[in-house]
A and B are shown apart, each in its own frame.
Chain A
């Protein structure tokens, strides 16, 4: 038992450290909790989708896909054109989703092709591809639009007629196109979730076909208890005086995120997902057992890139301004830092880790400027600190992983020699 707890602690050391950092940051920032919760809800809705785009390539053994930046670029290309031609509302949003899919898939295919030439160095390559693509992206929007490629509305051109303006306001066209569809108050969300969970669990407990063992039945009751308490929290929030009951939850966005989370779980139950896993574990064995390794690797990147494009559209419709040359730049760093903080590694990532990571990373993001100000008398310290956290956690995680693989390889070589 003691050993078990120790192992659990060691395996989750990164996450535990960050939970502690978040709690410390919240205390040090002296910001009111409702403010933090409200910010956090917005940021979870905004960023979860992008982080969930990272999972498939990790399982397929391609590491953390820094190339999701390019998915984001595909999304922005489509969005800028659609907005210039007057797309608005949910229709415009869905059109952006649909049109960005083939573009992102095509980009993903190209990235996959390159990554198949650089096996073992996928991450650095995907990062450099991102930088390279950013150059081409700037070429497109700064020089080709207005000269070779026409655009729907001249108002989006830089005065002089060449190139797209720096920032595009999404108010009145795509802002809240998804979030705004159906907002629900927080207590009601709790109540409904509680009821659904309880009912589903009750059905499983009493109407299931399989006979439950004693332990299973016990666990079942605990789960039902949790379902009821979620409902109870909703009731309490609703009847007491508190500020939380006025918080809005974007239900459709939450639904989209849930859908993609389920996709990430379900895909690994299919033949295709199984192939991904085999390729990720050992390319050679996968090849011998008849999996087309190159094709599967490309497919994993295509999926990731398309999901990233969708994620970026959701991100931007919430944010409300599209920074033509900046919105996509830090996407991969922040998404990857988040999933790593949640406990993922270069070879292992789950939906739970992605979501937990988003919560922790963004809590830290919200509180660190004020915490920096209170602790060091300078808000800039906090801002630099969070950038450091993003880069540092990626560096640390990559380093630890490389160290582990290298030691394993060395041990294997030793055994081979003997």
Chain B
């Protein structure tokens, strides 16, 4: 019994147990501090659906052996461009979001393909190279946002050059998924459309991983030599995984933006990969293995923690932004933990 327990603890990992305990403690504290727990929980659901697809984008990379995709900002930028184009043509509602997704997919597929070609040439250092490719492209895009020829008043600054730093989606597709078939239950507002879309994407990923291409990808990740021996084209598998990951990044940011109500340009996408990476790791994934359930669990726990900690921390500790500091520690702490577990030390 004791062995089983220690085995279980080892399996789940001490950081995960700590974080889940922390989350439960925070919810209990929220209750006793008289905060509105049901509304906190509905926000938690929204945040889960909002960030979910960005976290889902980590799955193909991890499984195919390219590792944690720190180059996620590439996909995010493609998504934002798609979103801006749909605003430029003034397409609103669900149709607008759909157009944004349709425009962003070819963009992100091309970007992902090029990025994948690069990653195939830097095997062993994908994470570091990916991080800096992401950083470089985000800073290069900062210049691009200044000179892009968009005309819409919603996108441009009214005076001066360039695009706005935040672009409001009110009147376009602000919360279209969140509100779709939403219903209240016991004080909790369920964002049905958002969750349905998230779970639908998860299901598609699940199906893909069981398809021939998907299985080949997983085989590539678990053993390069084995995959080669069974006639799988390793480079092609890795390429496909990067393309899918980038495309999911693009769709992910659009879903995120419609829920958040804004597009954020310039340096906003810079650190986005780290949150997504942290979420999937918290859910139980490692640098080499990930399941869909890790995505769902991870994004729920991580976003729940960020969300619930804010009001609770503000009551206990009115000065400063304790929850933001906690986010930094948890986010990078879990990534660091995963890196040391994956490490090549002897």
- The residues of A with any CB-CB pair to B shorter than 8 Å are 114, 116-121, 123-125, 127-129, 131-132, 134-136, 138-139, 142-143, 158, 160, 162-163, 376-378, 380-381, 384-385, 387-388, 391-392, 394-395, 398-399, 401-403, 405-406, 409
Do A162 and B124 touch across chains, with their CB atoms under 8 A apart?
no
Do A121 and B332 touch across chains, with their CB atoms under 8 A apart?
no
Do B146 and A163 touch across chains, with their CB atoms under 8 A apart?
no
Do A138 and B328 touch across chains, with their CB atoms under 8 A apart?
yes
Contacts of B88 in A (CB 8 A): none
Binds A, one of B22-30, B176-184, B253-261, B335-343: B335-343
CA distance A123 to B132 in the complex (A): 11
Taking the closest CB of chain B, its distance from the CB of A374, in whole angstroms, is 15
B122 part of interface (Cβ distance < 8 Å):
yes
CA distance A121 to B336 in the complex (A): 11
Do A132 and B333 touch across chains, with their CB atoms under 8 A apart?
yes
Binds A, one of B102-110, B290-298, B314-322: B314-322
| 3 interchain residue pairs of minimum CB distance | A395-B132, A135-B328, A402-B122
Size of the B side of the interface (Cβ < 8 Å), in residues, is 46
A131-B274, A138-B325 known; A388-B140 Cβ under 8 A: yes
Q: Which of A118, A139, A384 contacts B340 (CB under 8 A)?
A: A118
- The residues of B with any CB-CB pair to A shorter than 8 Å are 70, 118, 121-125, 127-129, 131-133, 135-136, 138-140, 142-143, 146-147, 161-162, 274, 317, 319-322, 325-326, 328-329, 331-333, 335-336, 339-340, 342-346
Can you spell out 15 A-B residue pairs with CB atoms less than 8 angstroms apart? Answer: A117-B340, A118-B342, A119-B343, A120-B124, A121-B343, A125-B339, A125-B340, A135-B325, A135-B328, A143-B317, A143-B325, A163-B320, A378-B146, A378-B162, A384-B142
Do A384 and B325 touch across chains, with their CB atoms under 8 A apart?
no
Known: A376-B146, A381-B143, A381-B147. 12 other contacts (CB 8 A): A117-B340, A119-B344, A121-B339, A124-B131, A125-B336, A132-B332, A132-B333, A138-B328, A377-B161, A395-B136, A399-B129, A402-B123
CA distance A377 to B147 in the complex (A): 11
Do B128 and A384 touch across chains, with their CB atoms under 8 A apart?
no
Taking the closest CB of chain A, its distance from the CB of B5, in whole angstroms, is 26
A120-B344, A132-B333 known; A402-B328 Cβ under 8 A: no
A143-B325, A384-B143, A391-B139 known; A128-B335 Cβ under 8 A: yes
Contacts of A123 in B (CB 8 A): 128
CA distance A384 to B265 in the complex (A): 13
CA distance A388 to B340 in the complex (A): 30
A387-B142, A403-B121 known; A114-B340 Cβ under 8 A: yes
Q: Which of B121, B139, B339, B345 contacts A388 (CB under 8 A)?
A: B139
Taking the closest CB of chain A, its distance from the CB of B23, in whole angstroms, is 18
CA distance A398 to B346 in the complex (A): 24
Contacts of A117 in B (CB 8 A): 340, 343, 345
CA distance A399 to B339 in the complex (A): 20
**Which DSSP category, helix, strand, loop or mixed, fits chain A's interface?**
helix
A391-B136, A395-B136, A399-B129 known; A118-B317 Cβ under 8 A: no
A388-B139, A391-B139, A403-B121 known; A398-B328 Cβ under 8 A: no
Chain B residue nearest in CB terms to A410? B123
Contacts of A391 in B (CB 8 A): 132, 135-136, 138-139
CA distance A121 to B126 in the complex (A): 10
A119-B343, A384-B146, A403-B122 known; A395-B336 Cβ under 8 A: no
Taking the closest CB of chain B, its distance from the CB of A75, in whole angstroms, is 20
Chain B residue nearest in CB terms to A401? B125
CA distance A158 to B325 in the complex (A): 17
CA distance A142 to B70 in the complex (A): 29
Contacts of B320 in A (CB 8 A): 142-143, 158, 162-163
Do A118 and B345 touch across chains, with their CB atoms under 8 A apart?
yes
Do A135 and B329 touch across chains, with their CB atoms under 8 A apart?
yes
A132-B333, A143-B320 known; A399-B122 Cβ under 8 A: yes
A163-B320, A387-B142, A395-B129 known; A376-B344 Cβ under 8 A: no
CA distance A377 to B146 in the complex (A): 11
Q: Which of B143, B332, B340 contacts A135 (CB under 8 A)?
A: B332
Chain A residue nearest in CB terms to B138? A391
Contacts of A405 in B (CB 8 A): 124-125
CA distance A377 to B131 in the complex (A): 31
A116-B345, A121-B128, A135-B329 known; A388-B136 Cβ under 8 A: yes
CA distance A132 to B15 in the complex (A): 14
Do B344 and A131 touch across chains, with their CB atoms under 8 A apart?
no
Do B146 and A162 touch across chains, with their CB atoms under 8 A apart?
no
Q: Which of A119, A128, A158 contacts B345 (CB under 8 A)?
A: A119
Do B143 and A385 touch across chains, with their CB atoms under 8 A apart?
yes
Do A118 and B133 touch across chains, with their CB atoms under 8 A apart?
no
Contacts of B140 in A (CB 8 A): 384, 388, 392
